[in-house]
Structure 1
Amino acid sequence: MVKGIIAGLVAIVIAQILKVPLNALQTGKWNLKQIFGSGGMPSSHSAGVTSLATYVGLKLGARSLDFALSIIFGLIVMYDAQGIRKHAGETAIKVNDLEKRIDQLSGINKDEAHDKKSKQLKESLGHQPEEVLGGAILGFFVGLISYVSNRK
C-alpha cells in the first residue's frame, strides 16, 4: 500500500503547485508562497484523501475494509476543510480587524498609544465547497492514473 500513500502525496503536491497559477488568474498576482499555504483552489487535503481512496478502491475493491476506512477518513477531512477550518479563517479575519476597530472607536492613535506587537492570525485556512470538489476531482484522476500505471 506504499503506492497508495505515494498517490496521495503526489496529489497533494500537484494541488499545492496548481494553487499558484489558479490564484494568479483570479488576482493577477503571482505568489509562490501559496505552494506552502493552506486554503485556496484546489484543496490539497481533498486531493490527497481522494487519491488514496481511489487507489485503494481500485486495488483492493470497494468492499474492502481499507477502502471503507479511506472513504470515512476522506469524508471527515473534506468536511473539516470546508466547515471547521473555513469558520476558523472567518474568525481570524474578525479578530485581526478587532484591534483596528477598538482604536477607531476609542479615538486613540495607535502609533502614539502603543506599538503593535501581536502577529496577525492566518486568515486563509479553509475551503469553499468548489475548492474541495476541485481537489476531489484532481485526487480521483491522480489515484486512477497511479493505479493504472502500477498494475501488474
Structure 2
Amino acid sequence: MTEAVCWGGRRRRMDEVAALSASLIENSITTSSSSSSSSSLFDNFPLISAILAFALAQSTKLFTNWYKERRWDAKQLIGSGGMPSSHSATVTALATAVGLQDGFGGSMFATAMILACVVMYDASGVRLQAGRQAEVLNQIVFELPEVHPLAETRPLREVLGHTPPQVIAGGLLGVVTSTIVYLIEKVISQA
C-alpha cells in the first residue's frame, strides 16, 4: 500500500510538471509570435539612429555652407563632402546604437565598429584624394584651348571626401545622436 501511495504522489508530481511544461511552452510560443509580429522597422533602434544621424548631418551641411559662402544651396542636402561627414555620422551612430543595445563586447558591435572605421578612413583618405585630383584635372581642362577635344568636357565633382575635422565632427554627431535616441527610447519604454 505504501508503494501505491508513493507512486500516486510521484504520478501527481509528474502530471503537475507536464502541465507546467505545456503551459510554459504555450506561453513561449504566444509571446514569441506576438513579439515578432509587434516589432517593426520603426522599432529598430540602430537603424533609426543611423538614419537620424545621416539626416542631421546632411541638414547641418546646409547651414555650414550658408555660414561659409553666405548663400543657401539645397544641393547640400543630397551632396557628398562638407562639414560634418554624414558617412561618419551614420556609421558611428549605427555602431554606438548596436553597442548600447547588444553590448560593447559582442560580435555585432565589433562588426559595426570595423565598418565605421573603414568608412571614416575611406572618407578622409581615398575619397579626399580623389576630390583633390578632380580639382587638378578640372584646372588642366579649363586651361586647354577651345579647339581641344576635351575643352568641352563637363567638370568632375571635386567635393568627394572629407577633411579629418569633418570626419571627427560627423563621428561625434553620430555618437551623440544614437545616445540621445537611446535615452529617449528608454524613457518612453518606462512610461
Shared fold, TM over 0.5: yes
Matched residues in 1 for 2:161 and 2:148: separation? Answer: 32
Query: Structure 2 unaligned runs (5+)?
Result: 1-42
1:23 corresponds to 2:65? yes
Name which structure has the greater RCO, CA cutoff 8 Å, separation 6+: 1
Please report the TM-score for the alignment, with normalisation by the length of structure 2. Answer: 0.71
- Report if the CA contact (8 A) 2:141-2:153 is conserved: no
Which of 43, 53, 65 is 2:85 aligned to? 43
**Percent of aligned pairs sharing the same letter:** 39
Which of 117, 134, 138 is 2:169 aligned to? 134
Query: Structure 1 unaligned runs (5+)?
Result: 104-109
The Cα offsets for residues 28-78 of structure 1, whole Å up to 9 and x where unpaired, read as 121111111000000000000011111111111110111010100000000
Matches within 5 A, 1:2-151: 2-103=44-145, 110=146, 113=147, 116-151=151-186
Which structure has the greater CA radius of gyration? 2
Hey, which bits of structure 1, 4+ residues long, moved more than 6 A? none
Specify the code of the residue in structure 2 equivalent to 1:131: Q
Matched residues in 1 for 2:104 and 2:113: separation? Answer: 10
RMSD: 1.5
